[in-house]
Structure 1
Amino acid sequence: MPISQKVPTWALAPAVLAVLAVISYQTIIAPENLKGTKNILSGAKTIPLPAHGPESLAWDPQGEGPYVGVVDGRILKWSGDGLGWVEFAYTSPHRGNCSKHEVVPTCGRPLGLRFEKKTGDLYICDGYFGVMKVGPKGGLAELVLDEAEGRKVMFANQMDIDEEEDVFYFNDSSDKYHFRDIHYVTICGERSGRVIRYNKKTEEAKVVLENLLSNNGLALNKDGSFLITCESATGIVHRYWIKGPKAGTSDIFTKVPGHPDNIRRTPTGDFWIALHCKENRIGRWMVYNQWLGKLAEKTVSLKLLVALFNGFKPHGIVVKISGETGEILEILEDKEGKTMQYVSEAYERDDGKIWFGSVFSPAVWVLDRK
């Protein structure tokens, strides 16, 4: 081409737009890169499920399981490679139109699961009905409570049980949204989440912590002196003191680098916190600018909103924090999402294996670190 011949402006436009798109993605949308992580989760074993969304895992007092709750309202039990998954319980008698792939509100949505060791009862936080329980033989769960201090429990999420005191604590993540709109809870900016204490003897439900922004995971520490709960929107982990000179007060325990889901205490007393995804700039803009979050709520589909938050690159990530100081001890990833995506819980067993659940995927995963 002669030097004097000029390239038409219209021919440069696609190249300029392509460069701008790459820059915009890397600076605004792409998930953040974290230092010091271990990219090992892709090596976990996958155990497929006959339905989506094993959000939480639990083992019964005999050590059998795991049990998981899935999107069609059932609790399934893993009975080993021979029998696979068998139906154990369900939270709604209305089974006619339940889907194994997406939530139908009348079928319920079991989220956090906890077994009570002394009775063998399984307690279930259902994202539509409230806190429920079912006996050791399974079947249809019964309602324990769906209201606290005059406010309906709209979004029961995760819980933990103090068997010595005969009480349990659970999250009600929103007084406006149910589970299906979980990501709108994250961006709406309304601090309507609360932690509720339920006394099983007196049947009294008391709010102990409130004004939380989409609080999700919850777990007691090893001696029951405090609990921690995390905000999915901000990554902040709050500590509420139950016993001792600070009883009845709260403080910030730590902050994790992403949008946290469930919390599980390890056998040694630390905590695993599952992250739905890492942070990115566009997600922070929506969380910390309420007008933008409200605009996205009205104009962006839930599917697109999820994609924006994970940078159009679903991945797996969990964080281990100290049970004493909140210090981040370890971060495990599947950066490319080859095996794990949308991790909702990490449950470490005494044998060193870590089991992982997912809010969307039709599988659980097992990582044997020994």
Structure 2
Amino acid sequence: MASKPFIALATTVLFFSLIAVNHFGKPFHGKLGEMEIVPITDTVGPESVAFHPVGDGPYVGISDGRIIKWQPNEHRWISFGITSPNRNHIAVVLSGDKTGMLLKYEQESKQITVLLTNLSFPNGVALSKDGSFLVFAETTKCRILRYWLSTPKAGNLETLAQLPGFPDNIKRSPRGGFWVAIHSRRCKVLSWILSYSKLGNALIWVLPVDVITKAYSVMSKYLGSGLALRISEEGVVLETLELESGNKMSSISEVQEKDDHLWMGSINMPFLGVYRL
């Protein structure tokens, strides 16, 4: 009888091979010019970018939970903080986990209020221009949700946009609407697996989480999508950003627009990508 490690390895190879077969061959349309690369020293996965209002930074969130900051006078990155290490997003997606929540934090009272529960991998939050609602990605279900904060609709939740892949982060664009980064496309095989939570949990039982994570880390360099969408506050696609096949940037995790540039993060690259609009 085959040993469990052998079964785990064989299942891992088969699982990601099936996804790859369904992913490759998707059309890529080059709509951007040359990408400037901003190296991140001794690490991979600069997922997100933030700038201080007075011009400090940028600050970069790394996929291992650390935050680093650019020191212009020293021309180097320094450690700034750490948030949540040892995250296993693959297991969350495969298991069909619905324990996600949307929380509100009151700065003055230091009180936390639970606004929404039973969410499938909620990811990224952005406010509308007038502050009447917020939007966030529900990654597993490949959609953007809108939660109303004011107006007669206050407290209501609705689907703003259904997406062709798994959204990672969402940021408001200074030109209007929101930039949504698509980590990878939703292929037929993965859609089938996600429709049966028992199958996803069986995969997690057969395959150790660290094996799945490492295998996906390698495969995501090929499976990852160089795709992002700018959608309006009503969910209409305003702009599509899709990189050419073979471009160095894959598994886009965030698009942050600042001063006519798009700063692009990734979960598996050792650099940020910067494009001039």
TM-score after normalising by structure 1: 0.64
What is the distance in 1 between the residues matched to 2:144 and 2:225? 22
Query: Does 1:259 find its partner at 2:166?
Result: yes
1:78 maps to 70
Deviation at 1:335, TM superposition (A): 4.3
- 1:285 touches 1:292 (CA, 8 Å); kept in 2? no
Q: Separation in 2 of the partners of 1:25 and 1:69?
A: 31
Higher helix share: 2
Q: Contact 2:217 / 2:268 at 8 angstroms: preserved in 1? A: no
Seen in structure 2, the aligned counterparts of structure 1 residues 198 and 244 have a Cα distance that, compared at 3 Å, is same
Q: Which runs of 4+ in 1 moved over 6 A?
A: none
**Counterpart of 2:271?**
363
Task: Report the secondary structure of 1:293's partner residue.
Answer: helix
Is 1:127–2:84 an aligned residue pair?
A: yes
Q: In structure 1, what is the equivalent of residue 3 of structure 2?
A: none
- Distance, in Å, in 2 between the alignment partners of 1:295 and 1:315 is 27
Match of 1:47, as an amino acid? V
Determine the structure 2 residue equivalent to 1:59.
51
Change (3 A) 1:27 1:307: closer
Shift in CA distance, 290/352, structure 1 to aligned 2, threshold 3 Å: same
Deviation string, structure 1 residues 88-143 (Cα, Å, up to 9, x no partner): 5122xxxxxxxxxxxxxxxxxxxxxxxxxxxxxxxxxx234xxxxxxxxxxxxxxx
Offset at residue 366 of structure 1 (A) = 0.5
The RMSD of aligned alpha carbons is 2.6
- Aligned residue for 1:291, secondary structure, equals helix
Q: How many residues align?
A: 257
CA positional deviation for 1:29: 2.4
Give the Cα–Cα distance (whole angstroms) in 2 for the partners of residues 222 and 268 of structure 1. 11
SS in 2 for 1:186: helix
Structure 2: distance between partners of 1:293 and 1:252: 25
> Are 1:338 and 2:247 counterparts?
yes
Could you say which residue in structure 2 is the equivalent of 1:44?
35
Deviation, 1:28, is: 5.6
Match of 1:89 among 80, 92, 95: 80
| Percent identity for Structure 1 against Structure 2 | 32
Structure 2 unpaired stretches of 5+: 1-13
Larger Rg: 1
Contact kept? 2:263, 2:273, Cα under 8 Å: yes
Q: Which amino acid aligns with 2:232?
A: S
Query: Residue type matched to 2:53 in 1?
Result: P
Return the alpha-carbon distance in structure 2 between the equivalents of residues 32 and 187 of structure 1: 24
Cα deviation for residue 313 of structure 1 reads 3.4
Query: Which residue of structure 1 lines up, in the alignment, with residue 61 of structure 2?
Result: 69
| TM-score, length basis structure 2 | 0.83
Secondary structure (helix, strand or coil) at the match of 2:47 reads coil
CA offsets 1:34-66 (integer angstroms, 9 cap, x no match): 6xx742357211111112221111111212321
CA contact (8 A) 2:67 2:80 kept: yes
Once residues 217 and 73 of structure 1 are traced to their aligned partners in structure 2, the CA distance between those partners, rounded to angstroms, is: 15
